Amino acid sequence: MSRSGNVFAVGIELDGEGYHPAAWRRAAHAPDTFLTGDALRTRVSAAENAGFTLATFDDSILAPLGHPAARIDAVTRASFVAATTSTIGLVATVATTYAEPFHTSSQLATLDYASRGRGGWIATTIADPAAAATWGRPARSTESELAREQRDSIEVARRLWDSWEDDAVVRDYAASRFLDRDKLHYIDFTGETFSVKGPAIVPRPPQGQLVVFADDTTESGAADVVLVAGRDLAQTLAAADRARATGALVFAELDVALDIPHATAAERIADLDRYATANPTERLTFSGSPTDLVRLLTELAHHVDGVRLHPAVIDEDLPALARQVLPALFRSGVIHRPVPGSTLRANLGLARPINRYAKDQH
């Protein structure tokens, strides 16, 4: 069990071929099929069948450093697999820097409808000046500028999701009355870099508000789930201790390379390193047997509410996780499968937020 008493959650990052820049060389499909719907569906279905609580989809307006492959935007990918999945949370990365929060909130609300309440948002920042040039915007590079835009974007999205009360849609066909306009609300937000009047163009999402994920540099209270990282276990747990003060759930970030039947994790990484060296990350890194990973995750379950796994090579590590790691965690009671028909919020133990604009809060 996690430190909060909720069921420990396990997520997996499914962007690209894996965290290693040469992962495509060990992929189970031809390079020219990487961007196809079948490849995406196959991986997400495998993760759902394995029992992962959620899958995340990284994204940026800039190409991943060291990766030759293109990508389709994260919200589109998550929405595409929404209809073919039923339990796994689908969490899309959308940067808050430069993006219009009105459009971001609408896209994410639509994802929540498509997935019947399983949508989530990783709200990131991007400091690279090339992103500003791509957007055609003045660069925001200082920590205060990035933090301000992230804070305001999350706040605007949450207000827009609340700008329709839950019963604003009437659907009285006999009276030709479909909307109660008194239950739509202006949000009247004015920040330092943008202002938004509202209301939204999409009714309130099934979850009320999507689950918002962010790293531990995000302003306290902005996120529902804080993602923490550290070069070793001690640093990771120290970051988790600090993040707990926000009142959010805490997830540890973990890079994973597993032993598989025909090669050890060390042999696999050495083979990949012949072509390209993985860029160092701040995340905790595990390389070894599935049994040892089970021990590590069991230990982490005493300190954090969940983990997000970043496989070295998705097509090799995901099957090993599905066959040897998650089943052991199910047997020990550390994790449980997501409940069919439940929302991502419910599967994470988060309450559905009360609408801030509703007159009747009860």
Closest to 213 in 3D by CA, of 302, 121, 145, 332: 121
Query: For residues 301 and 240, is the Cβ–Cβ distance under 8 A?
Result: no
* pLDDT on residue 67: 55
* pLDDT on residue 298: 97
Report the alpha-carbon distance of residue 28 to residue 301 in Å, rounded: 32
* pLDDT on residue 141: 76
Under-50 pLDDT residues of the chain:
1-4, 362
Question: pLDDT tens, 146-200?
Answer: 899 999 999 999 999 999 999 999 988 888 888 999 999 999 999 988 999 999 9
Query: For residues 283 and 254, is the Cβ–Cβ distance under 8 A?
Result: yes
Report the alpha-carbon distance of residue 33 to residue 105 in Å, rounded: 31
* pLDDT on residue 126: 87
Q: Which tokens hold the place of 90?
A: 């689908």
Sequential DSSP letters for 176-235: TEEE-GGGB----EE-SS-EE----SSPPPTTSSPEEEEETTSPTTS-SEEEE--SSHHH
Q: Which tokens hold the place of 272?
A: 């990949």
> Half-sphere exposure (CA, 13 Å, Cβ side) for 85?
39
Closest to 80 in 3D by CA, of 70, 68, 69, 92: 92
Query: For residues 179 and 88, is the Cβ–Cβ distance under 8 A?
Result: no
Report the alpha-carbon distance of residue 321 to residue 328 in Å, rounded: 10
What pTM was estimated for this model as a whole? 0.94
Question: pLDDT tens, 80-100?
Answer: 999 999 999 999 999 999 889
∠ CA 69-71-75, nearest 5°, is: 160
Sequential DSSP letters for 47-87: HHHHT-SEEEE---SSPPTT-------HHHHHHHHHTT-SS
* pLDDT on residue 4: 46
